[in-house]
Amino acid sequence: MKFATKAIHAGVQPDEATGAIMTPIYQTSTYVQDGVGGHKGYEYSRTLNPTRHALEKNIAALENARFGAAFSSGLAAIDCVIKMLQPGDEVISTNDLYGGTYRLFTTIFAKYGIRFQFVDMSNPETIEAFVTDKTKLIWVETPTNPMMNIIDIEAVAQIAKKAGAMLAVDNTFATPYLQNPIDLGADIVMHSATKYLGGHSDVVMGILVTDNEEISKEMYRIQNSTGAVTAPMDSFLVLRGIKTLHLRMQRHCENGEKVARFLAAHPKVEKVYWPGFETHPNHDIAKKQMRGFGGMISFSLKGNKLEDAHKIVKKVKIFALAESLGGVESLVGHPATMTHASIPKAAREKIGIVDSLIRLSVGIEDADDLIADLEQALR
């Protein structure tokens, strides 16, 4: 089955009891058994719930894999991956990383004896110098947030394999519509479903997908043992969101390109970060591993003044000033003082998050209106 058909049909079927075409919201904690052990596959909703189960099967299919698990947030999904490790294990992570992931690694798990190294992976060979016999996980985010760097998943997968380490890819920005890391050799795919999968800025949720049976057993064991599961109502909302993921992503990509080209031609703009430009340092890899370039764009201003960036994010009228991304509506953010404020200034600037950097999540409104909005704000 192709993507659009899977997005709508994978994992879901008419309700057996009533014929309801939409997966019911099974708002229940427990399930009546005929006799001890006589259940229909569901015993208790932390372990498994039918609405969540439908979503888990659906998203696994979209990533061309067998096993999916849904969590109460993207960070809870990442938390599950790190809990597969032991004290003393080492993780090599992308250095240009979602701020919350960096905080989880450095302020929660580091104190349990797991060692994290943050590496610029734009040239994957750099990773090899950091591999030791304790390296158990390589963590990749691509495109990166907010610098839109592209990491060659296939090349990193080869390094991970050689090192005997798992490769996990945060696929939040690309979504399975644009990129399938497991097809490129990754062991685990992670999503903040809060973003494009949900797509309507009304849910916080995380997803893990794997095609490795052994990893899936650990994933489900940890999901059930630590209990950060997502709710039936939220599972329903994300299932509903995914039914239009392909249509939304097509428009995000079209609008993203138009806005990126407008910004690149604007005299007040210093630099535009968008992987669709041929001048982007990893454009060739983006073209190879992605089916489109998405609607996430960052740009910096001539003169690099924080006040100018703050003025622009205040002046825009259609773009809403808010954290998060991936919804139907366009958002604008200022990484240095918002999403990435938890990363120390020096570390931030080293990866390019300068004071004037502005990040856009280009929505699916009319592109002409979005460009006119940016035009007046820049003026």
With CB under 6 A as the contact rule, which of the stretches 24-32, 160-168, 187-195, 227-235 interacts with ligand PLP?
187-195
When binding is defined by CB under 6 A, the residue of 195, 248, 251, 266 that contacts ligand PLP is 195
| 117 to 146: interface string for ligand PLP, x by CB under 6 A | ------------------------x---x-
With CB under 6 A as the contact rule, which of the stretches 42-50, 111-119, 190-198, 269-277 interacts with ligand PLP?
190-198
With CB under 6 A as the contact rule, which of the stretches 19-27, 97-105, 278-286, 348-356 interacts with ligand PLP?
97-105
Q: Whole-angstrom Cα distance, residue 164 to residue 166? A: 7
Supply the DSSP symbol for 204: -
| 323 to 362: interface string for ligand PLP, x by CB under 6 A | ----------------------------------------
46 noted as active-site residue: yes
If one asks whether residue 300 binds ligand PLP (CB under 6 A), the answer comes out as no
With CB under 6 A as the contact rule, which of the stretches 42-50, 57-65, 191-199, 209-217 interacts with ligand PLP?
191-199
Cβ atoms of 177 and 246 closer than 8 Å: yes
When binding is defined by CB under 6 A, the residue of 58, 135, 172, 223 that contacts ligand PLP is 172
Q: Whole-angstrom Cα distance, residue 151 to residue 119? A: 11
Residue number with CB closer to ligand PLP (100 or 185):
100
Q: Residue 80, SS3?
A: helix
Strand partners, 138: 92, 167
Cβ atoms of 27 and 210 closer than 8 Å: no
If one asks whether residue 100 binds ligand PLP (CB under 6 A), the answer comes out as yes
If one asks whether residue 98 binds ligand PLP (CB under 6 A), the answer comes out as yes
When binding is defined by CB under 6 A, the residue of 192, 230, 298, 361 that contacts ligand PLP is 192
If one asks whether residue 210 binds ligand PLP (CB under 6 A), the answer comes out as no
Cβ atoms of 72 and 233 closer than 8 Å: no
Shortest CB 323 distance to ligand PLP, Å: 8
Q: Whole-angstrom Cα distance, residue 181 to residue 166? A: 13
261 noted as active-site residue: no
Site for ligand PLP in 45-84 (CB under 6 A): 73-75
Shortest CB 192 distance to ligand PLP, Å: 3
CB neighbour class for 322 (10 Å; exposed up to 12, middle 13-18, buried from 19): middle
Q: Using CB under 6 A, count the residues that bind ligand PLP.
A: 16
Phi and psi at residue 350, in whole multiples of 5°? -60, -30
234 noted as active-site residue: no
Shortest CB 268 distance to ligand PLP, Å: 27
98 noted as active-site residue: yes
Residue number with CB closer to ligand PLP (124 or 206):
206
The token pair that represents 310 in the structure block: 């703050």
Q: Cα torsion at 39, 40, 44, 48 (round to 10°)?
A: 150
Q: Whole-angstrom Cα distance, residue 324 to residue 100? A: 12
∠ CA(242), CA(246), CA(250), 5° rounding?
140
Q: Residue 42, SS3?
A: coil
With CB under 6 A as the contact rule, which of the stretches 107-115, 161-169, 170-178, 340-348 interacts with ligand PLP?
170-178
Q: Cβ contacts of residue 189 below 8 Å, gap of 6+?
A: 63, 65, 168, 169, 171, 176, 180, 181, 182, 207, 208, 209, 210
If one asks whether residue 96 binds ligand PLP (CB under 6 A), the answer comes out as no
The token pair that represents 122 in the structure block: 């734009």
Q: Whole-angstrom Cα distance, residue 130 to residue 344? A: 23
Catalytic amino acids?
A: 46, 98, 170, 195
Residues forming the site for ligand PLP (CB under 6 A):
73-75, 98, 100-101, 141, 145, 170, 172-173, 192, 194-195, 204, 206
